[in-house]
């Protein structure tokens, strides 16, 4: 760990014209003044109109994204019937006491003005990559790690694999971690690789509540292999509720500078500078909403407490770590990488890490986790190793290459 002090924490977001005519987006055809459109295109068109709110201005990102600056009161969250008369809370009543320093962030292409938020524009092609319009922007059922399951076949039946550290058995009011950022290789467009934290309540069945945030590479969701900031939520075990980022009503964004789903740059490299991001999620003790903060002072927004049942009180499990989809398309384990693609024993500047992992207690203080456990379905494919020191507190290295001579 001697070289750990030399890594850089600096981040750049490459995410962020005027609102394209929706007909152009849908590539519809007009003949003799009449519109010809398939029922699929009609459903896609309706969905795009729901997601892409009128922009005050738009910004072309270097990575090809279009970021619309949408008035804060017009964002997708307010399509929810329970939020029609909601008064936006522009700041949490309090933030957890910080134990460690933060990283910095700046922008390459500019920001939206006060009173607006940046929203990554959804394109027709984005929706068409999903299995259906209804499933666009949603995870599949049973994608959360099941650390207490004694049946490995049950844990992996969804094709999702994990390498995580976790705590359970208490009441948790949030969590924090600093996450090493890489750009793992993803074998198939319908697979993904991510590093995140999970705030969980309820049973791993039909009523699981989950709040999630981190970074991911997901060609199916974004149409590229860029590493991107993301959030997710569900109140019914990924069945009908919840979504990534702002792709449904729920999360209320207040920050005018950071776009959910934006690309993160630079990323870490082997024997090169290491980059990481800090994410904190906590429950406001006064209002009850779950807030998210990125880095030093970038409060992004909140999930209103009414979205949840179990998490309306507290979380019962907190998890940190990696997740991949293993489709086994050729009858073998996927080569999709988790983290850096290296196993934990490769160490700093080669393996990916989570450091300074903490939980928020009932007094709204950040504390080191007690009784930290680990879990992975197939340690020959992806693994996790925890440790502790003065600089990084509780930390772990995790990840792996997927298919290898010991993982077929």
User: Could you give the residue numbers annotated as active site?
Assistant: 212, 323
Contact at 8 Å (CB) between 400 and 338? yes
How far apart CA 179 and CA 193 sit, in angstroms, is 14
Our separate counts of H helices and E strands in the chain read: 5, 24
How far apart CA 192 and CA 185 sit, in angstroms, is 9
How far apart CA 104 and CA 308 sit, in angstroms, is 32
**30 class by beta-carbon count within 10 Å (0-12 exposed, 13-18 middle, 19+ buried):** exposed
Determine how β-strand 57-60 pairs with β-strand 66-71: antiparallel
How far apart CA 179 and CA 196 sit, in angstroms, is 8
**38 class by beta-carbon count within 10 Å (0-12 exposed, 13-18 middle, 19+ buried):** exposed
Q: Quick count: other Cβ atoms within 10 Å of Cβ 62? A: 13
- Write the CA distances from 6 to 265, 275, 312, 315, 406, integer angstroms: 18, 11, 41, 35, 34
Q: What is the largest CA-CA distance in the chain?
A: 73
CA angle 156/387/347 to nearest 5° reads 80
CA 109 to chain centre: 22
- Write the CA distances from 383 to 67, 200, 240, 323, 340, integer angstroms: 37, 22, 31, 11, 12
Contact at 8 Å (CB) between 90 and 263? no
Q: Quick one: which H or E segment has residue 374?
A: strand 373-376
Contact at 8 Å (CB) between 245 and 231? yes
CA dihedral 264, 126, 325, 315 (to 10 degrees): 70
CA dihedral 41, 66, 290, 297 (to 10 degrees): 180
């Amino acid at each position: 760990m001697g070289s750990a002090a030399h890594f850089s924490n600096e981040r750049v977001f490459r995410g962020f014209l005027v609102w394209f005519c929706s007909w152009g987006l849908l590539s519809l055809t007009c003949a003799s003044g009449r519109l010809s459109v398939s029922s699929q295109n009609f459903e896609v068109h309706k969905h795009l109109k729901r997601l892409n709110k009128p922009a005050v201005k738009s910004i072309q990102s270097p990575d090809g994204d279009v970021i619309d600056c949408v008035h804060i009161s017009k964002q997708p969250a307010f399509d929810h019937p329970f939020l029609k008369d909601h008064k936006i809370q522009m700041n949490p009543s309090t933030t957890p006491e910080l134990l460690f320093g933060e990283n910095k962030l700046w922008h390459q292409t500019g920001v939206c003005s006060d009173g607006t938020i940046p929203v990554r524009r959804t394109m027709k092609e984005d929706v068409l990559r999903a299995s259906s319009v209804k499933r666009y922007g949603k995870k599949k059922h049973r994608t959360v790690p099941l650390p207490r399951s004694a049946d490995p076949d049950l844990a992996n039946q969804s094709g999702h694999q994990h390498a995580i550290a976790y705590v359970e058995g208490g009441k948790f009011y949030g969590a924090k971690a600093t996450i090493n950022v890489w750009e793992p290789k993803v074998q198939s467009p319908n697979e993904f690789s991510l590093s995140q934290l999970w705030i969980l309540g309820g049973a791993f069945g039909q009523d699981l509540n989950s709040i999630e945030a981190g970074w991911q590479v997901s060609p199916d969701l974004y149409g590229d292999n860029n590493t991107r900031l993301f959030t997710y939520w569900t109140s019914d075990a990924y069945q009908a509720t919840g979504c990534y980022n702002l792709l449904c009503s729920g999360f209320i964004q207040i920050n005018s500078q950071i776009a959910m789903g934006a690309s993160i740059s630079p990323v870490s490299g082997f024997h090169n500078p290491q980059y990481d991001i800090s994410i904190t999620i906590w429950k406001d003790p006064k209002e009850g909403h779950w807030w998210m903060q990125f880095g030093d002072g970038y409060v992004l927004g909140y999930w209103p407490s009414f979205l949840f049942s179990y998490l309306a009180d507290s979380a019962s499990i907190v998890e940190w770590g990696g997740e991949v989809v293993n489709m086994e398309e050729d009858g073998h384990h996927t080569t999709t990488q988790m983290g850096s693609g290296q196993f934990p024993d490769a160490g700093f500047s080669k393996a990916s890490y989570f450091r300074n992992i903490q939980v928020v207690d009932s007094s709204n203080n950040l504390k080191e986790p007690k009784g930290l456990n680990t879990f992975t379905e197939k340690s020959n494919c992806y693994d996790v190793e925890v440790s502790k020191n003065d600089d990084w507190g509780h930390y772990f290295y995790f990840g792996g290459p997927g298919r290898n001579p010991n993982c077929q």
